[in-house]
């Protein structure tokens, strides 16, 4: 099986997938693509490359079942080399690199290189398609990792040339609620509003962020909307008190 994987990866390295499907694609292929997500994704590659990509896909599923991270990364890169538009593979590969590989790196330079590699994969995918899914994936990744990896923010700041959480807000705004990005965005805006109020004394900036979070909360499911609305109401209440500079409720 490893020999077959090697052949598939060599084939993947030799091909670049076209950006759109063939106009004269057989009816049978179109019908199958309409009902099978993987077939739909691979149909533009043509029969030979689609077969190679299918082998890689099977290897990826097997590697994930076994928890073989090295193989997951290798096969994912092969799939993306053949078909850059496979967003689920791009998202998974970037997450594995940033969430798993980078924090395990003992050397700071290696850590930062891995972080920037993962972020670049998502940026490249967004540049390719403008995908709302990838905007959301990038925004959520920035939020998550900034909270758990002490070395992440500095590496991400160098990559973007800006505050990673400010970048996250812009990415999540373009996510169109892909994978529940709206609740993450609402919470992030509330956090930024609190920071503007308490740390910077910027009541206008705080009010602007809280108002945007309120508007987002209106479209959230009931429990999430109620939680965000209650949190904002408590913050606004404190902002109106004479000692409004006091620390807000948790």
Domain locations along the chain: 69-176, 177-250
Considering the entire predicted model, what is its pTM?
A: 0.70
Q: How far apart are the first and last CA of the chain?
A: 53
- Mean of the pLDDT values across residues 213-239? 89
pLDDT at 97 over 50: yes
Which residue, among 107, 58, 102, 106, has the nearest Cα to 79 in the 3D structure?
A: 58
**pLDDT at residue 239, rounded to an integer:** 87
**pLDDT at residue 8, rounded to an integer:** 41
**pLDDT at residue 188, rounded to an integer:** 95
- Higher confidence at residue 45 or residue 122? 122
Contacts of residue 108, Cβ cutoff 8 Å, sequence gap at least 6: 151
Residue 200: count other Cβ atoms within 10 Å of its Cβ.
10
Least confident interval from 2-11, 77-86, 182-191? 2-11
Contacts of residue 139, Cβ cutoff 8 Å, sequence gap at least 6: 167, 168, 169, 170, 171, 172, 175, 181, 184, 185
Provide the CB-side half-sphere exposure for 11 (13 A, CA). Answer: 18
The model's pLDDT over 161-215, given as tens digits with 9 standing for 90+, comes to 999 999 999 999 999 766 688 999 999 999 999 999 988 889 899 999 999 999 9
Say if residues 213 and 189 touch (Cβ distance below 8 Å).
yes
pLDDT at 119 over 50: yes
| Alpha-helical regions (H) of 27-148 | 27-35, 37-42, 46-66, 69-82, 87-95, 102-104, 108-129, 132-148
Q: What percentage of the chain reaches a pLDDT higher than 70?
A: 63
**pLDDT at residue 65, rounded to an integer:** 66
pLDDT at 135 over 90: yes
For every residue of 21-40, DSSP letters joined together read --TT--HHHHHHHHH-HHHH
CA distances from 203 to 68, 181, 190 (A): 50, 26, 13
Say if residues 49 and 33 touch (Cβ distance below 8 Å).
no
**Could you tell me how many residues make up the chain?**
250
**pLDDT at residue 54, rounded to an integer:** 59
Cα separation of 205 and 160, whole Å?
A: 23
The model's pLDDT over 15-62, given as tens digits with 9 standing for 90+, comes to 333 333 333 333 333 333 333 444 444 444 444 455 455 556 565 565
Say if residues 124 and 116 touch (Cβ distance below 8 Å).
no
**pLDDT at residue 59, rounded to an integer:** 59
**pLDDT at residue 114, rounded to an integer:** 93
Say if residues 53 and 16 touch (Cβ distance below 8 Å).
no
Residue 195, classified by CB atoms within 10 Å of its CB into exposed (0-12), middle (13-18) or buried (19+), is: middle
Cα separation of 53 and 12, whole Å?
A: 8
- Mean of the pLDDT values across residues 66-88? 70
Dihedrals φ, ψ of 22, to 5°? -80, 140
- Higher confidence at residue 95 or residue 246? 95
pLDDT at 106 over 90: yes
Cα-only R_g, the chain: 22
**In the structure, what pLDDT confidence band is assigned to residue 88 with cuts at 50, 70 and 90?**
confident
């Amino acid at each position: 099986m490893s020999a077959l994987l090697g052949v598939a990866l060599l084939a993947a390295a030799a091909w670049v997938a076209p950006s759109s499907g063939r106009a004269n694609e057989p009816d049978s292929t179109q019908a199958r693509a309409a009902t099978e997500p993987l077939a739909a994704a691979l149909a533009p590659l043509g029969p030979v490359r689609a077969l190679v990509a299918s082998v890689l896909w099977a290897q990826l599923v097997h590697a994930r079942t076994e928890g073989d991270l090295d193989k997951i990364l290798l096969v994912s890169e092969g799939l993306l080399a053949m078909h850059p538009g496979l967003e689920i593979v791009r998202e998974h590969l970037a997450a594995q690199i940033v969430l798993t590989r980078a924090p395990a790196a003992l050397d700071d330079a290696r850590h930062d290189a891995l972080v920037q590699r993962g972020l670049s994969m998502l940026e490249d995918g967004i540049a390719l398609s403008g995908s709302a899914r990838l905007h959301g994936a990038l925004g959520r990744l920035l939020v998550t990792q900034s909270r758990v990896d002490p070395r992440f923010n500095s590496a991400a700041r160098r990559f973007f040339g800006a505050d990673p959480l400010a970048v996250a807000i812009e990415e999540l705004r373009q996510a169109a609620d892909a994978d529940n990005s709206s609740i993450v965005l609402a919470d992030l805006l509330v956090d930024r509003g609190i920071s503007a109020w308490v740390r910077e004394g910027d009541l206008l900036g705080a009010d602007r962020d809280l108002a945007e979070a309120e508007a987002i909360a209106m479209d959230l499911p009931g429990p999430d909307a109620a939680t965000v609305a209650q949190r904002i109401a408590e913050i606004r209440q404190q902002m109106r008190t004479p000692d409004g500079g006091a620390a807000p409720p948790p």
